[in-house]
Structure 1
Amino acid sequence: MIDIRPFKSLGHADHGWLDARHHFSFANYYDPGRMGWGRIRVWNDDRIAAKSGFPPHPHRDMEIVTYVRTGAITHQDSLGNKGRTGAGDVQVMSAGDGVVHAEYNLEDEETTLFQIWIETDRPSVKPSWGAMPFPREARDNAFQLLASGNAEDGALTINADARILGATLRGGGAVTLAIDPARHLYLVPSAPVRVNGKEAGARDGIAITGETELRIEGDHDAELVLVDAR
């Protein structure tokens, strides 16, 4: 099953400094048919104005992945962590038994990012934060693992049975990936693509289950972000 959720159908909130699109029910956006996808609970497509951001606020028992599309985000938290994550790179925060964090765009330009929440498999553990660079040229027409629940795979680690992958699809090319039909995958492309022959637009949400392989093709360069979860 491949279900295309058009970008124009997503939840929307414009706070001035933050223009957010919600793939799943979040804050004041509620759709009983879009409460999550498997263990994926939140996927927000955020545009954050220069010199603004999210002030300190708490979380617990959630795996929070931030994929920066353009610009950069600067993180700081109650554990003493602080770091800047630039375009194409990823940061992860396991909220564990409780953490307070802030995310600021300290740049002179708008920052765009995906914030993805995955339900944790290890509630009430010690919270943690990490970031890692992932050069986009290393994933031309191939998926690269960015984060997962396996601490031995060389990517960022989260406390969930999930994988976050990124790829750069070159126009006229294709990306393929073998997948488990029992799992729940969610894909967002930056430009129009065809997923197993089905047409999807830029920044549409693509919910996938019951498939054994993905073949993603496009006529234009596209950045692909994919989450594979239970």
Structure 2
Amino acid sequence: MIDIRPFASLGHANHGWLDARHHFSFASYHDPDRMGWGKIRVWNDDRIAGQSGFPPHPHRDMEIVTYVRTGAITHQDSMGNKGRTGAGDVQVMSAGTGVVHSEYNLEDEETTLFQIWIETDERGAQPGWGQMPFPKEEREGAFQLLASGSEDDGALTIKADATIHGATLPPGGSIVHAANPERHLYLVSSAPVTINGVEAGPRDGVAITGEERIEIVAGDESAELVLVDAA
């Protein structure tokens, strides 16, 4: 099953400094048919104005992945961590027993990012945070593992049965991803693509299950792909 959730159908909240699209129910946006996808609970497509951002606020028992599309975001938390994550790079936070953090765009330009929440497998665990650079030129035509529930695969670590992948495709390029039909995959592309022949537009959500093989083909534009594979 491949279900396209058009970008125009996503939840929308514009706070001036923040223009957000919600793939799943979040804050004041509620759709009983879009409460999550497997263990994926939140996928927000955020545009954050320069010199603005999210002031300190708490989380607990959730795995939070931030993929920066353009610009940069600066993180600071109650564990003493502070770091700047730039375009194409990723940060993860395991909220565990509780953490307070802020996320500010300290740049003069707009920052765009995906904020993805995945239900944790370890409630009440020690909280943690990490970030890694992932140069886009190293993942052209192939998915690169960005984060996973494994501690020994060279990617960022989360406390969930899930993997997060990134790839880029040139115009007309293609990529094949082997899938477990029992799992829940969710894909967002920056440009038009087809997935097993099904067309998806820029920043549409693509919910996938029941498939053993996924072939993604770019259209006339280069495409940046983010794929989450979760239980």
TM-score tier after normalising by the smaller chain length: over 0.9
Per the alignment, residue 131 of structure 2 pairs with: 131
Give the drift of 1:172. 1.2
1:90-128: per-residue Cα shift (whole Å, max 9, x none)? 000000000000000000100000000000000001100
1:224 paired residue number: 225
State the distance in 1 between where 2:48 and 2:208 align.
29
Deviations 1:122-154 (A, max 9, x none): 000110000000000000011000000000100
Give the deviation of 1:218 after TM superposition. 1.3
Between the aligned partners of 2:201 and 2:217, the Cα distance in structure 1 is 12
What amino acid does structure 2 have at the position aligned with 1:168?
T
What is the letter of the counterpart of residue 229 of structure 2? Answer: D
SS at match of 2:216: strand
Q: Give the secondary-structure state (helix, strand or coil) at the position aligned to 2:137.
A: helix
Question: Any residues of structure 2 matched to 1:117-196 within 5 Å, and which?
Answer: 117-196=117-196
**Partner secondary structure for residue 121 of structure 2:** coil
The number of aligned residues is: 230
SS of residue in 2 equivalent to 1:137: helix
Q: What is aligned with 1:60?
A: 60
Q: Deviation at 1:14?
A: 0.1
Residue of structure 2 equivalent to 1:42:
42
TM-score by length of 1: 1.00
Aligned AA (2:159): N
Aligned to 1:17: 17
| Contiguous gaps of at least 5 residues in structure 2 | none
CA–CA separation in structure 2 for the residues paired with 1:203 and 1:94: 26
Letter in 1 for 2:66: T
Q: TM-score, normalised by structure 2?
A: 0.99
> Which residue matches 1:101?
101
Distance 1:122 1:170 in 2: 39
Residue 138 of structure 1 aligns to a residue whose secondary structure is helix
The residue number in structure 2 matching 1:85 is: 85
Q: Secondary structure at the match of 2:138?
A: helix
CA shift for structure 1 position 170: 1.0
* Aligned-residue offset at 1:224: 0.2
**CA distance in structure 2 between the partners assigned to 1:129 and 1:30 by the alignment:** 29
Q: CA offsets per residue over residues 147-176 of structure 1, 9 Å max, x none?
A: 000001000000000000000011111011
1:215 has 2:215 as partner? yes
The gaps in structure 1 that reach 5 residues or longer are none
RMSD: 0.3
